[in-house]
Structure 1
Amino acid sequence: MKRIPLLLAALLSAGAAQAHGPKHHAPAEVKKEQKDWGIAGSAKGARKVEIVMTDDMRFQPAHLDVREGETVRLVVRNRGKMLHELVIGTQKELDQHAALMLKFPDMEHDEPYMVHVDPGKIGEIVWTFNRAGSFHFACLIAGHYQAGMVGTITVQPKGGQS
């Protein structure tokens, strides 16, 4: 019976990011699919940026500045005592995903623009921000997003002023 809600949620969210469950592993093969906010990148030559997550439902830092075309290796450290995640996307995508998570908190998925990090552990996202604009990141575990566990990413256009 548990499969019916999962199937229904998958059908309702076609085109949106899927929710997730207890699996916290990186995909064996990274799916390089262009998104509005970029595409999965290669760690070689990527700029390393550390982001810390805590149980006060905050990211440190909560804002990143990136140049269009830059690949960033986000090293995501969970200093809390509960599971957290970091998901990159547009405000619309994150809002849709967060709403889905409230309805179906045990769904599973792995995408290259998200990482689930157990307490005391470190996860990683390697992402190429190949489109200029303002984007977001958030922890979409039910209740975390609503508590303000969000951040922003500003991607400056090539040749733009910092």
Structure 2
Amino acid sequence: MKTIKFIAIGAALMVASAAFAHGDAEHAAPKAPVVKEQKPWGIAGDAKAVQRTITLRMTDDMRFTPSQITVKRGETVRLRVENQGQVMHEVVLGTQATLDEHAQMMLKFPTMEHSEPYMAHVSPGKAGDLLWNFNRAGRFDFACLIAGHYQAGMKGTITVE
């Protein structure tokens, strides 16, 4: 009888942990310092270097407002990401190719957990910050890669002049 209870409790915990993975809960703030890795779309920024804050709103109609952002090359920006919806949303910076690839992975593994300096996961009614130095000129993208959100059109563009 104890074995059956133990198995039932274990199964319930596994289901609960899957439910609170990527799609349903904010990731804990990283304990280690941010690893600054140069990406085609820039590098993690420092709070002291922020030149301006851009508020990016996310809603359950699977849209970002604004959906187009323009920044200057070399500018460090704080993206204040506000989730005005009732479900978890995120913003992930990248290129069209990297976002497409990541979106496909999220469809296959919707409970996948990850945290990088170029992404912010925000619970309903909450806000988060993403600090980024746009040190490369070009046209880049951002999206919510939670399974189904990207496919519904939850994406936008960043032009770095």
TM range (shorter): 0.7 to 0.9
Does 2:156 correspond to 1:155?
Answer: no
Pair 1:40-2:44 in alignment: yes
User: 1:24, CA displacement in angstroms?
Assistant: 1.7
Q: How does 1:129-148 map to 2 (within 5 A)?
A: 129-148=134-153
Q: 1:65 aligns with which of 70, 74, 90?
A: 70
After the TM superposition, which residues 88-99 of structure 1 pair with which residues of structure 2 at under 5 Å, given as runs? 88-99=93-104
Q: 20, 26, 35: which is aligned to 2:29?
A: 26
Q: Which has the higher helix share?
A: 2
**TM-score, reference length from structure 1:** 0.82
Moved more, 81-90 or 37-46: 37-46
Number of aligned positions between the proteins: 138
Residues 36-73 of structure 1: per-residue CA shift (max 9 Å, x gap): 10000012241111010000000000011011100000
- The alignment yields a C-alpha RMSD, in angstroms, of 1.4
Q: Quick one: which amino acid aligns to residue 36 of structure 1?
A: P
What is the alpha-carbon distance in structure 1 between the residues aligned to residue 117 and residue 38 of structure 2?
A: 11
Partners of 2:96 and 2:108 in 1: CA distance: 19
Q: Is the 8 Å Cα contact of residues 138 and 145 (structure 1) preserved in structure 2?
A: yes
TM-score (norm 2): 0.82
CA drift of 1:136 comes to: 0.2
Which segments of structure 1 move beyond 2 Å, counting only runs of 4 or more? Answer: 19-23
Larger C-alpha radius of gyration, 1 or 2?
2
Change (3 A) 1:23 1:51: closer
Give me the whole-angstrom Cα distance separating, in 1, the residues matched to 2:150 and 2:77. 23
Q: Distance in 2 between matches of 1:36 and 1:25?
A: 26
Structure 1 Cα separation of the partners of residues 122 and 154 of structure 2: 14
User: What is the identity percentage for the equivalent residue pairs of Structure 1 and Structure 2?
Assistant: 65
Measure, in 1, the Cα distance between the counterparts of 2:157 and 2:28: 25
Query: Structure 2 stretches of 5 or more lacking a match?
Result: 1-20
Aligned to 2:57: 52
- Contact kept in structure 1, 2:56 and 2:64, CA below 8 Å: yes
What amino acid is aligned across from residue 70 of structure 1 in structure 2? Answer: E
